[in-house]
């Protein structure tokens, strides 16, 4: 009887361990899927924001407002106020003043609810441009918070590495 009881206990412990492992794996898979979904959405929104002069500006802004920016968008740049409407107003003006602006995504990554995008931003096709890194906190598939850093691409460099 004792042998049966011990075998039952060991079997039950093994079953519970396997169940716990399965739950952990499912949680990791769900997290990975969310990270990939956030990254894909962020890249879509960044392309729409920066690279789509073929779309009429008012349609672009409306689509960005509805699909890409959280209403309570938080901005960490000291030169820009918080709010979705504020940032979209800046881009509406930029579309008028700098219609040739474009980006090239060099790297991107996601972890948890954060997405990083390393860009080469150019106001005109011939410009040297800027190296920019944007970090977004995603919420419900939208940009909820934003940090960025950037620097001008120089004509010459003291090394043979590029900024990209």
Measured distance CA(122)–CA(162) in Å, rounded: 16
Query: For the segment 81-108, what is each residue's pLDDT rounded down to a tens digit?
Result: 999 999 999 999 999 999 999 999 999 9
Global pTM value: 0.80
- pLDDT of 13 reads 66
Is 18 a residue whose pLDDT tops 90? no
> What is the CATH number for 112?
3.10.450.50
Tell me, yes or no, whether 164 lies in a domain: no
DSSP structure class, residue 53:
T
For residue 78, the enclosing domain spans 2-152
Tell me, yes or no, whether 70 lies in a domain: yes
- Here the tokens at position 101 are 């602006």
Query: For the segment 36-72, what is each residue's pLDDT rounded down to a tens digit?
Result: 999 999 999 999 999 999 999 999 999 999 999 999 9
- pLDDT of 2 reads 72
Measured distance CA(41)–CA(43) in Å, rounded: 5
CB under 8 Å to 82, separation ≥6 — which residues?
A: 72, 73, 74, 75
Could you tell me the CA-to-CA distances from 121 to 64, 82, 154 in Å, in that order? 19, 23, 13
Is 28 a residue whose pLDDT tops 80? no
Domain count, the chain: 1
Tell me, yes or no, whether 16 lies in a domain: yes
Tell me, yes or no, whether 135 lies in a domain: yes
Tell me, yes or no, whether 160 lies in a domain: no
Q: What is the mean pLDDT of the chain?
A: 90
Tell me, yes or no, whether 162 lies in a domain: no
């Amino acid at each position: 009887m004792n042998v049966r009881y011990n075998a039952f206990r060991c079997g039950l412990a093994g079953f519970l361990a396997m169940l716990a492992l399965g739950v952990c794996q499912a949680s990791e898979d769900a997290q990975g899927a969310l990270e990939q979904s956030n990254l894909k959405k962020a890249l879509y929104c960044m392309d729409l924001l920066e690279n789509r002069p073929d779309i009429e500006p008012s349609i672009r802004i409306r689509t960005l407002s509805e699909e890409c920016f959280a209403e309570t968008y938080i901005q960490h740049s000291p030169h820009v106020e918080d709010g979705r409407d504020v940032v979209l107003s800046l881009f509406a003006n930029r579309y008028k003043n700098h219609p040739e602006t474009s980006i090239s995504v060099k790297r991107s990554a996601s972890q948890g609810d954060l997405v990083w995008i390393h860009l080469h931003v150019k106001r005109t096709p011939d410009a040297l441009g800027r190296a920019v890194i944007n970090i977004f906190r995603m919420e419900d598939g939208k940009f909820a918070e934003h940090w960025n850093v950037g620097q001008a691409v120089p004509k010459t460099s003291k090394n043979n590495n590029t900024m990209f």
